[in-house]
Amino acid sequence: MKKRKLGKSGLEVSELGLGCMGLSFGLGPGVSKQEGIALIRAAVDRGVTFFDTAEIYGAYVNEELVGEALAPYRDDVVIATKFGFKIDANGKQAGLDSRPQHIREVTEASLKRLRTDRIDLLYQHRVDPSVPMEDVAGAVKQLIQEGKVKHFGLSEAGVKAIRAAHAVQPVTALQSEYSIWWREPEEQILPLLEELGIGFVPFSPLGKGFLTGKIDESTKFSENDFRNAVPRFAADARKANQAVVRLLETIGGKKDATPAQVALAWLLAQKPWMVPIPGTSKIHRLEENLGAVTVQLTPEDLQEIDVAASKIPVQGERYPESAQKMINR
């Protein structure tokens, strides 16, 4: 596994990371602690050094899982986590909260759950319109000065928020959704990141599983799988969107690669400061995903993908309306 640096920050990580959310939360029932630890440690064994979690995943249990799994390797890995939500007594999201005092409280709690004395990359999970970005960045800057945090990140932030934060505390990385079927960051975000020297961490690089080719209109999700509420995963949309998978299959046929591997290789070919974080709960899928680093897409391949993808109108919004309101663009 090769390494990449996230922008100008100097933070070096494996060229593919591991998104750990689905081990505990969001995509149906979580795996057992033993299975989760085994999956994370299998990633370490295969050269992954970049692991992504958040306090809201569970809530709390995903950070605990990641902390326990990575404790023996702590000095060899980079752990990213996030603040920014209110969490009620039932562990459910209850709105946004990026007040400086809350950032400090969350950070102290995350340090304990992650069994560490520093958080390598601390993201604001969603921009909080009620708290000036200068105050958010200032709070993280203080934590960095204290050695409790090493790098500052933002998630799903827009141009104005990124510039405001970066002026107070340099932003190491932006994490946002980006894949062959969601390319909105190309319009304004990627040029800004290149200008400012900020790394990019695409989440859902496999389209929440759709780009693996293992989901079609007949697929049934468990009742606690958030994709049940995502318009892009309505049965009609899934049927229409198979055209994207067929494109990946066509390219994969030429490269002896799966659709998932082509989707990840396409991302890796976009920018050298881009580090996707696909998630999985299965070791054979982990190995498949990591195999993407050996798939070489030529300029002609990339042009073929772009031309073909431009003719495919992807159906359905990527979030329900309630979640969409929390995205700062």
Catalytic residues: 57
How many angstroms separate the most distant Cα atoms in the chain? 54
Q: Name 182's bridge partners.
A: 179
Give the whole-angstrom CA distance, residue 116 versus residue 125. 20
Which three-class secondary structure string do you get for 33-51? HHHHHHHHHHHHHCCCCEE
In the numeric block, which tokens belong to residue 70? 């990575």
Q: From start to end of the chain, where are the E strands? A: 3-5, 12-14, 18-19, 50-52, 78-83, 85-87, 93-96, 119-124, 149-155, 171-177, 199-203
* 232/237 Cα distance (integer angstroms): 6
Residues 318 and 182: beta-carbon distance below 8 Å: yes
Bridge partners of residue 88, in order along the sequence: none
What is the rounded CA–CA span in Å between residue 216 and residue 210?
8
Hey, what amino acid is at 263? A
Report the DSSP pairing between strands 171-177 and 119-124: unpaired
> Scanning the structure block, which residue is given the tokens 């693996």?
212
